[in-house]
Structure 1
Amino acid sequence: MSDAPAARLQHQVSRAAQALGKHGVLLLTLTAGLVPALLLALLAGGVYDAVAEEDGVAALDQPVLTAAQSIRSPGLDTAVTWLTNLGGTIGLPLLAAAAVAVLCRWQRSWTPLILTASAAAGSLLMTIAGKALVGRSRPALSDAVPPYEYSASFPSGHSLNSMVVTGTVAYLLFLYLDSRWARIITLVLAAGFIAAVGLSRVYLGHHWLTDVLVAWFLGLAWLAILITVHQLLHARRLRNVPAP
């Protein structure tokens, strides 16, 4: 891989800094990152309200679970269980560790490790806090595919963690890949994996649909904050570098 993407980013940051000034770049970056994070947090709050009031989008929980049960089969159950394990407490850390090791070696920097570890730590804290504070029950075991899970249901840890960790790795790859198509494929694969893991939780009867939705919204909000902080730090390093 060449340094072309990094050089282009450096050039763009330098031009933006010259046009807007130091405070203008800061304001623009904060607005672009924190406004979406706030909106996503509000959406997550809306899902929580629906769950608490048992109305709104929460009314879809049981019908969606029933629909998932109607398409189950032994072969599909096995395949979806394998997929959900990739986004679990063993599969996802192993995949992330491999990706981060490659990124650190490729970029000759510890930034991928620091950013991904920070992302995972925040995601884990949100998962633990959400389950402890809300204490929602999972679907009945009779509606689930074994192996069964017994912790609280809200939010879905698999969905939240896969959103944040996969999103962080995809973001880092996006920054340093040369090819436009490689970037598009990276984002599509990341989005597909995140969606598949989340939907697998509903299919298996391990979570309600709203558990997954709130996890996605919270994960995207946290991801937006992380990317904003990373961009601010990166812009600070490049601010005084002259354009090529």
Structure 2
Amino acid sequence: MREKTTVRRKLRPAPVRPAGWWFDALLLAGFVAITALLAAGHLLALDLAVSEWAFAHVPAPLYWTARAFNLLGQGGGLLLPLSGGLAVAVAWRRRTVRPFLLVGGAFLITTLTIGPLKLWTDRAAPTASVKEPFLPLDQAVRIFHHQLPPDAYSMSYPSGHVANAIVWYGVIALLLAALTGDRLPVGLYRLVRYAPPAILLVTTTYLNFHWLTDGLAALLLGLLLDRALHRVPWDDLPLPGRLRNWGEPFTRQP
């Protein structure tokens, strides 16, 4: 049995790729730029053109295929239960509570950022033009539209499906790698990590659940949150009391 050490390692941010903070600054600048351009009335024509094309091209097979793939972004119905289940499996296999710290961190970082941004930007979804409150598209597309009717869905920007998928599928990929003893093929790791967000960007736009810029902004925001989450040294965080007996490391990315 390995002897436990009482020496506590100094906490340092875990490495991310690409390394450095310059990429984080680029992602943040991109998100701010898209938001500012939309607020100034730019990019709205692009959103309208993509939305109108999608409304005009909805053959049943393609529509239902997109609806099926869009289920990949169901937070409470898929992402959180799947992440929680994997965390339990990894915790039992590695004798550690640390996977729950990762899942809790993901829940916290997404809850404190994506939801408040949606409330602040106050943008209707494209479908608000075809169902209650039946807004004209040129009204629904506006951002910071604080005069929307009370019954309007006004939480379209940024896309929660896309941003959450980047964070949660990153967590799922990391837990799968830990569960397989770090023998998960790199190709499969990357497929789990990156394919669902890309699929959701396409499907939420095609189904008119979100404007194109909702998804693009969410892509930048999600990558920024994902990098922040993966910078946390989960294996080295100090644990209280008896939890230290269940504090083995578990993270090792391909």
* Counterpart Cα distance in 1 of 2:161 and 2:48: 20
Contact 2:47 / 2:213 at 8 angstroms: preserved in 1?
A: yes
Deviation at 1:95, TM superposition (A): 2.4
Conservation of the 8 A alpha-carbon contact between 1:154 and 1:211:
yes
The question of 1:45 aligning with 2:32 is answered yes
Q: 1:80 aligns with which of 66, 69, 89?
A: 66
Q: Structure 1 residues 161, 32: closer, same or farther in 2, change over 3 A?
A: same
Task: Tell me how far 1:82 sits from its aligned partner.
Answer: 2.8
Check 1:26–1:79 CA distance in 2 against 1; reply closer, same or farther (3 A cut): same
Q: Deviations over 1:92-125 (max 9, x none)?
A: 2222223323332333322222112211221122
Which whole-Å CA distance do the structure 2 matches of 1:62 and 1:103 have between them? 45
User: How far 1:207 moved relative to its partner?
Assistant: 0.6
Structure showing greater relative contact order (alpha-carbon pairs closer than 8 Å, 6 or more residues apart): 1
Using the alignment, how far apart are the partners of 2:174 and 2:21 within structure 1?
A: 17
Q: How does 1:25-64 map to 2 (within 5 A)?
A: 29=15, 32-56=19-43, 58-64=44-50
Q: Write the deviation string for residues 201-242 of structure 1: whole angstroms up to 9, x where unpaired.
A: 1111111011111111111111111111227947xx9xxxxx
The aligned residue for residue 113 of structure 2 is 126
1:212 aligns with 2:199: no
Letter in 2 for 1:132: L
Of Structure 1 and Structure 2, which has the larger fraction of its residues in helix? 1
For 1:97, the equivalent position in structure 2 comes to 84
Contact 2:156 2:210 in 1 (8 A): yes
For residues 70 and 103 of structure 1, the distance between their equivalents in structure 2, rounded to whole angstroms, comes to 46
161, 171, 175: which is aligned to 2:174? 171
TM-score by length of 2: 0.69
- The amino acid that maps onto 1:135 is D
Whichever residue aligns with residue 76 of structure 1, its letter is L
TM-score (norm 1): 0.72
| Contact kept? 1:40, 1:220, Cα under 8 Å | yes
Mapped to 1, the partners of 2:161 and 2:119 lie a distance apart of 16
Does the aligned pair in 2 maintain the 1:37–1:222 contact within 8 Å? no
In the alignment, the residues of structure 2 paired with residue 115 and residue 159 of structure 1 have an alpha-carbon distance, to the nearest angstrom, of 19
Measured after TM superposition, the shift of residue 29 of structure 1 is 4.7
Task: Give the total of aligned pairs.
Answer: 208
* Percent of aligned pairs sharing the same letter: 26
Change (3 A) 1:104 1:36: farther
CA contact (8 A) 1:33 1:225 kept: no
Q: How large is the Cα RMSD of the aligned pairs?
A: 3.2
Q: Do residues 195 (structure 1) and 181 (structure 2) align?
A: no
1: distance between equivalents of 2:169 and 2:225? 13
- Cα contact 2:87–2:99 (8 A) shared by 1: yes
Mapped contact 1:103–1:112 kept (Cα < 8 A): yes
CA distance in structure 1 between the partners assigned to 2:154 and 2:13 by the alignment: 41
1:228 aligns with 2:231: yes
**Contact persistence 1:33–1:224 (CA under 8 A):** no
* CA–CA separation in structure 1 for the residues paired with 2:14 and 2:159: 33
